[in-house]
Amino acid sequence: MKELDLLKKDWKRNENSFEQVSETEIYKMIHKKSSSIVKWILIISIIEFSLSTFLNILLSFTDIDENNTRFIKSLGIYNYYQGFTIFLYAAIIYFIVLFYKMYRQVSATDNTKLLMKNILRTRKTVHNYILFNLVTIAVFFIAFLTFGLKSALLHQTMENGKHLAEISNSIYIVSFLVIIAITALAIGIIWLFYRLLYGLLLRRLLLNYKELKKIDL
Amino acid sequence: MTENLEHSFVQQLQANQNIIHKICRLYTDCEDSHKDLFQEITIQLWKAFPKFRGESKFSTWAYRVALNTAITLYRKNKRTIATVEYESRQHFTKEIEYNYEEEEQIKLMYKAVYQLNDIEKALIFMYLEDKDYREIAETLGISEVNARVKMNRIKGKLKKILNP
% of chain B surpassing 70 pLDDT:
86
Residue of A26, A116, A119 with shortest CB distance to B10 = A26
Let me know: does B75 contact B37? Beta carbons within 8 Å: no
The mean per-residue pLDDT over the stretch B24-44 comes to 92
Beta-carbon separation of A111 and B159 below 8 A? no
Query: How does DSSP assign A13-59, residue by residue?
Result: HTTT-SPPPPHHHHHHHHTSPP--HHHHHHHHHHHHHHHHHHHHHHH
How confident is the model at residue A82, as a pLDDT?
Answer: 81
Name the residue range of residue A123's domain.
36-215
* Chain B 5-64, residues with CB within 8 Å of chain A CB atoms: 6, 9-11, 13-14, 17-18, 21-22, 25, 38-40, 42-48, 51-52, 61, 64
Within 13 Å, how many C-alpha atoms sit on residue A91's CB side?
17
At a CB cut-off of 8 Å and minimum separation 6, what does A67 contact?
none
**Which of chain B's residues have a Cβ under 8 Å away from the Cβ of A199?**
none
Whole-model pTM? 0.80
The mean per-residue pLDDT over the stretch B86-94 comes to 48
Confidence of residue B84 (pLDDT cuts 50, 70, 90): very low
> Tens of pLDDT along A9-48?
889 888 888 989 999 999 999 998 888 888 888 888 888 8
Residue A168 lies in a domain: yes
* Chain B 99-158, residues with CB within 8 Å of chain A CB atoms: 102, 105-106, 108-110, 113, 117-120, 122, 127-128, 138-143, 146-147, 149-150, 155, 158
Nearest-Cα distance to chain A for B119, in Å, is: 6
CA distance B40 to B36: 6
**Which of chain A's residues have a Cβ under 8 Å away from the Cβ of B128?**
7-8, 11-12
> Tens of pLDDT along B110-125?
999 999 999 999 999 9
Let me know: does B14 contact A21? Beta carbons within 8 Å: yes
CA distance A43 to B29: 28
- The closest of A99, A101, A94, A127 to A206, measured between CA atoms, is A127
Q: Which CATH number fits domain B1-81: 1.10.10.60, 1.10.1740.10, 1.10.3720.10, 1.10.340.30?
A: 1.10.1740.10
DSSP 3-state assignment of B84?
Answer: helix
Identify the residue with better confidence: B134 or B75.
Answer: B134
Element (H, E) at A163: strand A162-163
Q: Where are the alpha helices (DSSP H) in chain A?
A: 2-13, 23-30, 37-59, 63-75, 78-105, 112-156, 169-215
With a cut of 60, say whether residue B159 has pLDDT above it: yes
Beta-carbon separation of B64 and A14 below 8 A? no
Beta-carbon separation of B93 and A114 below 8 A? no
At a CB cut-off of 8 Å and minimum separation 6, what does B18 contact?
A15, A16, A18
How confident is the model at residue B77, as a pLDDT?
Answer: 56
Residue A132 lies in a domain: yes
Residue of A27, A111, A215 with shortest CB distance to B146 = A215
At a CB cut-off of 8 Å and minimum separation 6, what does B69 contact?
A36, A108, B37, B40, B41, B44
CA distance B164 to B162: 6
Q: CA separation (Å) from A103 to A126, A131, B60, B69?
A: 11, 19, 25, 16
How confident is the model at residue B88, as a pLDDT?
Answer: 47
Domain ranges of chain B: 1-81
Residue A26 lies in a domain: no
Residue of B72, B91, B143 with shortest CB distance to A119 = B72
Nearest-Cα distance to chain B for A121, in Å, is: 14
Cβ-in-10-Å burial (0-12, 13-18, 19+) of A127 comes to: middle
> Tens of pLDDT along A110-133?
999 999 999 999 888 888 888 888
Number of DSSP helices (H) and strands (E) in chain B, helices first: 8, 0
**Which of chain A's residues have a Cβ under 8 Å away from the Cβ of B118?**
204, 207-208, 211
Nearest chain B Cα to A211, which residue?
Answer: B119
> Tens of pLDDT along A182-192?
888 988 898 88
DSSP 3-state assignment of A137?
Answer: helix
Beta-carbon separation of A26 and B52 below 8 A? no
Contact A115/B at CB under 8 A = yes
CA distance A75 to A191: 32
> Tens of pLDDT along A149-208?
777 777 766 665 666 566 677 777 888 888 889 888 988 898 888 888 888 888 888 889
End-to-end CA distance of chain A: 26
Query: Is this prediction's ipTM beyond 0.85?
Result: no
Query: How many domains, in total, are found in chain A?
Result: 1
Amino acid (1-letter code) at residue A78? Y
Distance of CA A13 to the CA centre of its chain: 50
* Chain A 148-187, residues with CB within 8 Å of chain B CB atoms: none
The mean per-residue pLDDT over the stretch A138-151 comes to 77
